[in-house]
Amino acid sequence: EPEVTQTPSHQVTQMGQEVILRCVPISNHLYFYWYRQILGQKVEFLVSFYNNEISEKSEIFDDQFSVERPDGSNFTLKIRSTKLEDSAMYFCASSFNAGAISYTFGSGTRLTVV
């Protein structure tokens, strides 16, 4: 069964450093998403991406965040200057179309900011 692959599985970074989280969506999917889950809290929507541009972003997704599809296979989330409160599990997801029956989520990257 096709999978969404996320790397690394765990990343530790110093406060103020830039971090890039990487995702390889399912190959024929066209819509891409990032969600995050702070430990003990709900999974929250960050951003959706289609046709090389952001479709929608949440209020969490401020100027410190950016997304990119640098080539035909990768989808990245960049945090420019990490803060302690950015520590969370970040999930990438993809779907074939906007109204797809379901999204396929990756296993997540646990980001720890120290």
Q: From the list 13, 22, 24, 44, which residue makes contact with other proteins (rule: CB under 8 A)?
A: 44
Q: How many angstroms separate the CA atoms of 77 and 95, rounded?
A: 17
Task: Pick the closer one to other proteins by CB: 55 or 81.
Answer: 55
Alpha-carbon Rg for the chain, nearest whole angstrom, is 13
CB of 7 to other proteins, least distance (A): 13
Residue 61 found at the interface with other proteins (CB under 8 A): no
Q: How many angstroms separate the CA atoms of 74 and 44, rounded?
A: 22
Residue 81 found at the interface with other proteins (CB under 8 A): no
Task: Pick the closer one to other proteins by CB: 59 or 63.
Answer: 59
Two structure tokens written together for 61: 């997704």
Residue 68 found at the interface with other proteins (CB under 8 A): no
DSSP state of 1: -
Two structure tokens written together for 101: 């029956």
Residue 101 found at the interface with other proteins (CB under 8 A): yes
CA distance readout (Å), 1 to 45, 67, 94, 104: 25, 26, 14, 11
Residue 93 found at the interface with other proteins (CB under 8 A): yes
- Summarize as ranges the residues that interact with other proteins (CB under 8 A): 4, 31, 33, 35, 42-45, 48, 50, 55-56, 58, 91, 93, 98-99, 101-108
